[in-house]
Structure 1
Amino acid sequence: MSFDNICKYLATEYPAAFVRWLLNYDANDIQILPTELKLDPIRADTLILLQTNNQILHLEFQTLPTSVPSLPLRMLDYWVRLHRQYDRPIEQVVIFLKQTNSPLAYVEQFSSANTQHRYRVVRLWELDPTPLLSNPGLLPFAVLAQTNSPSSLLQQIAERVNRIESVPIQGNITTCIELLARLRFDQNLIHQFLRVNAMRESPLYQEIIEEGLQQGEQRIVFRLLTRQIGEIPPEVRSQIQQLPIPQIEELSEALLDFSQLEDLSAWLRSHS
């Protein structure tokens, strides 16, 4: 599970915490919207619909400021699609995770000829960690906030984690903290403060392990299929990526009998 997927998990599990942090008010009537946008679909990170004021909070999480197309153009593209699809006020916030001196991390608008589009940018390394320590859903971001003493910051975060009464939630939050902390701190320092056992027993950690195993199996199968029948079309690759691990293992044996793409397509149809 990538860093941005961890952030998406936190935003969808704790949307009210993000609204309080970024918009500075409490919202109870919240809905998580589908992140795939129509018209040659692209996928936003997190879309939170605030029913109370009929507003959408659009969050994008970035480790690096460079992207193709550029981030400002993507934010404009997202806004146009969201406006067309939902026709309501949209607040866009880009959250940069990893500290950088790149000027691109300080760009807060798209500008071209007569077109200008503004959005908010949050650079975590510039923030006071105190507000992020107040809610379990924001705790993982505190490891990336401003500090002159990494040990003191990690100690504070560990103390807040230990106050979480639910064992599964504590494990999930510990997992998120540990993974995001890798963007900044040495793993040995992290493990001085975080309970690794709590992380490894958490449902989220098990899901990450499962996802890693699945991706590893997929890479092997794709290499074998390419050798056996040639290049795999994108739509067929997408079907294979949806298979659970047991079916991927079945495919890794069945593909030895394939001689053409139709053999693979027939196998996928019979296992759909």
Structure 2
Amino acid sequence: MHGHQVELVLYVSDAFLIANEIQLRPDRRMAARLRAYAALAEERYELLVYPVVVNILPPAPRVEIAASYHSECQGLVAHQDFKVINLWQEDVNLVFERHLTTLLPFVPVLKGGQDEAVLSRAVTLLRADEAISGLEPLLAFFASFVLESEVVRRIMRWDMAVLRESPWYAEILQEGIEQGREQGREQGIEQGREQGQMEMLLHILRRRFGPLPPDLVARIGDLRLDQLGQVVDVALEAPTLAVVKAFVATLAANGPIESALK
């Protein structure tokens, strides 16, 4: 997984392949990207390709969900249709009825998955399967988008520290560390950790609230490593971006941490 999308090419039969892209939210560049994947797969494997895009969360305001790619240049036309699967429109009961255990981490974002009893059932099944029990942080991550943080904690006995154990967090943090090492070992690692923490924070904020005001990004860039960790926790829980901005302002002023949450 790189950034926000995952690309897969699956062999189905001698008749065709499936070119599959999974993305957190619909992205306007996806249509051109999926067209390129389909063309490359068809050329490489000499089989027909069935392109599919899976959207995990609804799009940001004013972002349309494309179902095809179309372009015209000097009278020449390029067109590519693809299948779109929006998880929030898929019935959560199918996961349990068909024993689709690999979809358990996505239960919170499926249609009907916001119910506490449903989430509890998903957590129980996930923990009972050793092959996928390590995906519990992913389930908690998606649950935080649709349920109050206290509900998530009560059902999962989970806190925000679990996020820091996730593969995506570790990947972003490691990229920051590698950049820091180029600037000097001890100092570089510290700078790298700050960079990784900041990238994770900005990623979460943009996915939850959309484009960020430049002044907020600048203030976040001035925070220390320990402060960035505190803002990550708040970013996952805050109902609005205004709460996050108030919390960051409080940290910058060295005021009481709790005051911004009231």
Select which of 161, 171, 177 maps to 2:133.
Answer: 171
In 2, the alpha carbon distance for the partners of 1:105 and 1:93 equals 17
Select which of 169, 174, 185 maps to 1:214.
Answer: 174
In 1, the alpha carbon distance for the partners of 2:149 and 2:54 equals 23
User: Secondary structure of the residue that 1:94 maps to in structure 2?
Assistant: strand
- Structure 1 residue 144, shift from structure 2 partner: 0.8
- Structure 1 residue 117, shift from structure 2 partner: 0.9
User: Secondary structure of the residue that 1:189 maps to in structure 2?
Assistant: helix
Select which of 107, 120, 131 maps to 1:155.
Answer: 120
Matched letter for residue 108 of structure 1: A
Matches within 5 A, 1:1-272: 4=4, 8=6, 45-50=7-12, 52-53=13-14, 55-67=16-28, 70-100=29-59, 104-113=63-72, 114-133=77-96, 134-147=99-112, 149-164=114-129, 166=130, 169-196=131-158, 205=165, 207=167, 210-221=170-181, 224=183, 249=185, 252=188
- Structure 2 length normalisation: TM-score? 0.57
Matched letter for residue 83 of structure 1: E
Matched letter for residue 17 of structure 2: I
Structure 1 residues 172 and 4: CA distance shift in structure 2, 3 A: farther
| Structure 2 gaps, min length 5 | 190-262
- Structure 1 residue 105, shift from structure 2 partner: 4.4
User: Secondary structure of the residue that 1:138 maps to in structure 2?
Assistant: helix
Contact 2:19 2:41 in 1 (8 A): no
Superposed CA RMSD? 3.4
Partner of 2:225: none
Structure 1 residues 207 and 98: CA distance shift in structure 2, 3 A: closer
Contact 1:93 1:119 in 2 (8 A): yes
- Structure 1 length normalisation: TM-score? 0.55
| Structure 1 gaps, min length 5 | 9-44, 226-248, 254-272
Contact 1:3 1:180 in 2 (8 A): no
In 2, the alpha carbon distance for the partners of 1:211 and 1:48 equals 25
Structure 1 residues 82 and 104: CA distance shift in structure 2, 3 A: farther
1:7-44 deviation per Cα after TM superposition (whole angstroms, max 9, x unaligned): x5xxxxxxxxxxxxxxxxxxxxxxxxxxxxxxxxxxxx
1:217-261 deviation per Cα after TM superposition (whole angstroms, max 9, x unaligned): 234335x37xxxxxxxxxxxxxxxxxxxxxxx48949xxxxxxxx
Which protein has greater RCO, CA pairs closer than 8 Å, 6+ apart? 1
In 2, the alpha carbon distance for the partners of 1:47 and 1:117 equals 17
1:45-97 deviation per Cα after TM superposition (whole angstroms, max 9, x unaligned): 122223x4353222212223234xx2212221221111111111212111111
In 2, the alpha carbon distance for the partners of 1:61 and 1:83 equals 19
Contact 2:23 2:54 in 1 (8 A): yes
1:76-134 deviation per Cα after TM superposition (whole angstroms, max 9, x unaligned): 12211111111112121111111237565432111224332100111111110112232
In 1, the alpha carbon distance for the partners of 2:103 and 2:121 equals 13
- Structure 1 residue 162, shift from structure 2 partner: 4.0
- Structure 1 residue 176, shift from structure 2 partner: 2.3
Structure 1 residues 171 and 138: CA distance shift in structure 2, 3 A: same
